[in-house]
Structure 1
Amino acid sequence: MIFGQLMELDGFSWVSNFTLWGSTPLLLTVPEAEANSALVLAGVLLSLVVIYFASKVGGEISNRFGLPPVLGELVGGVIVGVSALHLLVFPEGGADATSSLIMNFLQTTAGLAPEEVAPTFAAQSEVISVLAELGVVILLFEIGLESNLKELMAVGIQAAVVACVGVAVPFGAGTAGLMIWFGVPAVPAIFAGAALTATSIGITSKVLSELGTLNSREGQIILGAAVIDDVLGIIVLAVVASLAKTGEVDVGNVIYLIISATGFLLGAILLGNVFNKTFVTVVDRLKTRGELVIPAFIFAFVMSYLAAAIHLEAILGAFAAGLVLDETDKRKELQKQVVPIADMLVPIFFVTVGAKTDLGVLNPAVPSNREGLIIAIFLIAVAIVGKVVTGAAVFGQPGINRLAIGVGMIPRGEVGLVFAGVGSASGVLSKPLEAAIIMMVILTTFLAPPLLRFVFPPTTAVGGEPETPV
């Protein structure tokens, strides 16, 4: 997850210059227009109204058609976002303050001054982005609580094989195809191939949870593989980013990421055997409100910070924290207390992902999109086939639904957008190739939920035993 941050002092951007007072140079500070703090809050509140309305309406409609509600939340985000209504737009997507209907509404109804519009828009967008990131952290913590560490470890080898195949096949096929058939230079082709390796653990795990198949054998393999895929994706991103920047791979950084990722995940698993009893002892001594959920979130956020501090994803830390606390006697009670918090924050993430999705890149009437559309068709085919074949890599599991495992690895979601964003910032991607990658991310993200619904009968684990939806 990547945030653009604007560092300011007391709300001002400061410009320094010198002038002469007699013969003495003086340092003057000239404050530029700053955000209206009261209307930043108003903008955030209006954005949340839009987000919750879109998520609820979209989720309910999706549910009526027998599809996972998360698909409705994504579609709701697209409708209120940059592709349609412009109620929820973000600067990193290329939108400016004048295209935000919320900013226009604040100007009309709340007296937002014209010079305050841009900084207020930037501040409000940053707050929503942070809330979205917090939402996916909470989601992965909740998924960790719902998972079974012992079952996850039991399919660990299969999950690792699935993850490695799911990285190697689309990366190799995508890179080679772009170079051979489309004449794309090596470095951009490698970058596009790397974008094909990602798997959105947030989207996949949410759909599995809604279908009640998270704890099936297939669900555990998908979840384990998605976690490993995320780690491998970070390492691949570090490699291609350094290649794009310098033309050389920083071997030291790659080795560091491999060691830190392995050490973090193994350390979290070992910590579970020691920490869970201590956690229960501490919680039993607390008597005030939030005596269970507050310590749990403290632990989850500390783990998320540690993951981010060693250049991994914060969501991996949250997931690991959930796995650790899943082993405690307080698991079921904690799950119940986390659900309403997740219900408030997780929709922000999914609607925001949809809102940032610009379907304009799919318009063939725009001449600059046509080359990208042809490349996108190739990338989408590789993205889908390259993940579906991962199911064939599962061994020692007779009667398992290999197609479901492959389909569960398809969505790229926010992880794929990170690859596209880094590639765009580095200047290594041409406009058609960048548009093609974004189209691949969009299609795989939106195709995965209904496909998972198709290959996973709801409320019944594939192994044949009924499973209660979480």
Structure 2
Amino acid sequence: MELLLQLVIIILATKIAGAIAVRFGQPSVLGEIIVGIIIGPAVLGLIGNINDNELLHTFSELGVIFLMFFAGVETNIKDLTSNTKSALTVAVFGVVLPLVGGYLIGESFGMDPTHSLFLGIVLTATSVSISVQTFRELNQLKTRESATVLGAAIADDILGLILLAVVISITVGGDVSIPTVLMKQVIFFAVIILANWKVVPAISKIVAKFKSTDISLVFAVVLCFAYSYFADFMGISNIIGAFFAGLSLAADKSRIEFEEKLLPTVGVLFIPVFFAGIGLAVTFKGIGEHIGLIVILCVVAVLTKIVGAGIGARITGFKTISAILIGIAMVSRGEVALITSGIGLEKGLFTQEYYTPLIIAVVFTTVVTPPLLKWIISIKEKRTSV
């Protein structure tokens, strides 16, 4: 029963906060994240830390899985593949600068090299789910910039996993093999490409013969969960699997049904829990001792992504305003960095002392991304219309 009460609070709070954010000219996701901080342990304490609540955490995970699934459904495959070069370049530059920046911060605050390197790895992460929702609200999900960001986020996730595997194998050893990590990634993408090319289209034709909306929706959900599980099983973020599941159905005739029937349901029940959950992970306990570190982390985390990813976009042909837009869209660290931070803490790659400042910096990048993204998109549209 406690879960039901928590869901009532979260759903009502996020919808009200989202409406208020829109009223003030901001994306609704900004209000949903901020209200999570307010109702969570950081302020009112109506709901505890989401990481300590397994059921609520599951709802949150389903939320981001569905969010990325619909991002895949709404993505033009040709746009995604035609921007591969740009996406890879954006990802590389968007990883290198935050990695160096994080390492230098750690060194300047007296952390040992291992902790400093891990701090840099956390800052390389990108949670594109926040930008996806903002792109959707602003009708920008089918643009070249959006396709590049999605592709770059996938590459970013792969690079981050490799870096994490390298550090763990060197410092901890034993349980992580770099060749194994690489092999799993190769197998994952090989299977996904084959499935999206041959298997899913064949099954879709069979499903279409039933002419049943219910069967089509069940097929979509099963496919989404299966891809997400397979990605997680192969050591890749489950949201990458969800995105490719959606992408496999992007050309399906039933995609309109998915958007009209399935999206409103999960949009009310699961997705708000994910956005609020980011705020629920925040606690301000002991931040006074590390306020300097927090401020520097926040500034470096934002600037290194904008500059790094922006440079990558610029040298692959994007105009300056579009390059800045892409850089901003890559700023949010979200759940990807939160998961990486937890792994580092568990493996002894980071200390509890610096964990809270890092989490606050991660949430800060997530909160500032929607308004910054809306701001830069409005500037771009004004220049385009002139």
Alignment TM-score, normalising by the size of structure 1: 0.76
- 2:167 alignment counterpart: 240
Cα deviation per residue 1:36-60 (whole Å; 9 max; x = unaligned)? xxxxxx1111011011011111100
The one of 192, 208, 227 equivalent to 2:154 is: 227
Q: Distance in 1 between matches of 2:166 and 2:67?
A: 28
1:461 Cα offset (Å) = 6.4
| Most deviating of 297-306 and 68-77 | 297-306
The one of 167, 178, 181 equivalent to 2:106 is: 178
Task: Give the unaligned 5+ runs of structure 2.
Answer: none
The one of 278, 281, 303 equivalent to 1:385 is: 303
> Number of paired residues?
381
The answer to whether residue 64 in structure 2 is matched with residue 136 in structure 1 is yes
1:79 Cα offset (Å) = 1.1
The one of 190, 211, 214 equivalent to 2:141 is: 214
Q: How does 1:17-416 map to 2 (within 5 A)?
A: 42-90=1-49, 92=51, 125-179=53-107, 181-246=108-173, 250=176, 253-287=177-211, 290-343=214-267, 344-362=269-287, 364=288, 369=289, 372-389=290-307, 390-394=309-313, 395-399=315-319, 401-416=322-337
1:316 Cα offset (Å) = 1.1
The answer to whether residue 373 in structure 2 is matched with residue 452 in structure 1 is yes
* Residue 304 to residue 398, structure 1, CA distance change in 2 (3 Å): closer
1:290 Cα offset (Å) = 0.6
Q: Is the 8 A contact 1:411 1:444 kept in 2?
A: yes
The one of 359, 362, 366 equivalent to 1:441 is: 362
* Residue 308 to residue 286, structure 1, CA distance change in 2 (3 Å): same
* Residue 73 to residue 285, structure 1, CA distance change in 2 (3 Å): same
Q: Distance in 2 between matches of 1:461 and 1:323?
A: 27
**Higher RCO (Cα < 8 Å, 6 or more apart):** 2
- 1:106 alignment counterpart: none
Q: Is the 8 A contact 1:401 1:462 kept in 2?
A: no
1:73 Cα offset (Å) = 0.6
Q: Is the 8 A contact 1:244 1:426 kept in 2?
A: no
1:338 Cα offset (Å) = 2.4
Q: Distance in 1 between matches of 2:240 and 2:326?
A: 21
Q: Is the 8 A contact 1:361 1:439 kept in 2?
A: no
Q: Distance in 1 between matches of 2:297 and 2:324?
A: 20
1:189 Cα offset (Å) = 0.7
1:303 Cα offset (Å) = 1.1
Q: Distance in 2 between matches of 1:55 and 1:244?
A: 41
Q: Is the 8 A contact 2:213 2:257 kept in 1?
A: no
Q: Distance in 1 between matches of 2:193 and 2:75?
A: 13
* Residue 168 to residue 86, structure 1, CA distance change in 2 (3 Å): same
Name the amino acid aligned to 1:420: S
Q: Distance in 2 between matches of 1:446 and 1:345?
A: 19
Q: Is the 8 A contact 2:94 2:312 kept in 1?
A: no
Q: Distance in 2 between matches of 1:356 and 1:300?
A: 26
CA RMSD of aligned residues (A): 2.3
Q: Distance in 2 between matches of 1:286 and 1:220?
A: 33
Q: Distance in 2 between matches of 1:418 and 1:392?
A: 27
Q: How does 1:8-19 map to 2 (within 5 A)?
A: none
1:292 Cα offset (Å) = 1.1
Cα deviation per residue 1:408-429 (whole Å; 9 max; x = unaligned)? 1111111111222222223443
Give structure 1 regions of 4+ aligned residues with deviation exceeding 3 angstroms. Answer: 90-93, 241-244, 359-362, 460-465
* Residue 128 to residue 233, structure 1, CA distance change in 2 (3 Å): same
1:244 Cα offset (Å) = 4.3
SS at match of 2:215: coil
1:229 Cα offset (Å) = 1.2
Name the amino acid aligned to 1:48: L
Alignment TM-score, normalising by the size of structure 2: 0.91
How much identity, in percent, do the aligned residues show?
Answer: 32
* Residue 156 to residue 183, structure 1, CA distance change in 2 (3 Å): same
* Residue 255 to residue 87, structure 1, CA distance change in 2 (3 Å): same
SS at match of 2:239: helix
Task: Give the unaligned 5+ runs of structure 1.
Answer: 1-41, 94-124, 466-470
1:208 Cα offset (Å) = 1.4
1:352 Cα offset (Å) = 1.4
Name the amino acid aligned to 1:260: K
Structure label with greater radius of gyration: 1
SS at match of 1:359: coil
Name the amino acid aligned to 1:212: N
Name the amino acid aligned to 1:385: L
* Residue 244 to residue 167, structure 1, CA distance change in 2 (3 Å): same
1:227 Cα offset (Å) = 1.7
1:376 Cα offset (Å) = 2.4
Name the amino acid aligned to 1:221: T
- 2:343 alignment counterpart: 422
* Residue 229 to residue 86, structure 1, CA distance change in 2 (3 Å): same
Q: Is the 8 A contact 1:307 1:314 kept in 2?
A: yes
Name the amino acid aligned to 1:45: L
1:177 Cα offset (Å) = 3.9
